[in-house]
């Protein structure tokens, strides 16, 4: 049984790095390409609640219809904002990862390390060349 799920966009470097970090623990997560298979309202509401973040903080601006839809306006309720994300899944910021240790929006990608149940098995460098995990499986730059 898979204990890890990632709401993934293969076109996003951060999402690809997070998926690779999960796989670097030896786990193969359930991968949901949310642009092709968006969550339903109940699932999206559960994810937001599990992350303990305001709905507005899950909205992605870059490369989305955020500005065209006027989503900066405080008039929109959480329910309405979720409705916009369901209509336009590109508005859902990514990647969202669910593990037995928690649910997080993993930006930056290293955030996923805090909720992975198993340790990193090898060194890991992000696509942009930034080292995240050393050869001993320890997080780089964090005591």
Q: How does pLDDT run across 33-44, given as a tens digit for each residue? A: 999 999 999 999
Range of the domain at 64: 39-92
Give residue 143's pLDDT. Answer: 53
Domain identity same for 82 and 99: no
Over the stretch 81-97, which tens digit does the pLDDT of each residue have?
Answer: 999 999 999 999 999 99
Domain identity same for 100 and 119: yes
Do the strands 5-8 and 30-33 form a parallel or antiparallel pair, or are they unpaired?
parallel
pTM above 0.85, yes or no: yes
Q: Count of domains in the chain?
A: 2
CATH number at residue 87: 3.40.30.10
Task: Give the residue numbers marked as catalytic.
Answer: 12
Domain identity same for 46 and 114: no
Domain identity same for 44 and 87: yes
Backbone angles phi, psi at 92, to 5 degrees: -80, 120
Domain identity same for 30 and 98: yes
Residue 66 in tokens: 């955020």
């Amino acid at each position: 049984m898979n204990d890890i799920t990632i709401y993934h966009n293969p076109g996003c470097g951060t999402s690809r790095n997070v998926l690779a970090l999960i796989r670097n623990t030896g786990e193969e997560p359930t991968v949901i390409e949310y642009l092709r298979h968006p969550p339903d309202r109940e699932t999206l509401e559960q994810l937001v609640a599990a992350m303990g973040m305001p709905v507005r903080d899950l909205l992605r601006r870059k490369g989305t219809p955020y500005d065209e839809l006027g989503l900066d306006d405080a008039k929109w309720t959480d329910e309405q904002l979720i409705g916009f994300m369901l209509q336009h899944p590109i508005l859902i910021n990514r990647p969202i990862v669910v593990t037995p240790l928690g649910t997080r929006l993993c930006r930056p990608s290293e955030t996923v390390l805090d909720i992975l149940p198993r340790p990193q098995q090898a060194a890991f460098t992000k696509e942009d060349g930034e080292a995240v995990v050393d050869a001993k499986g320890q997080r780089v730059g964090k005591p």
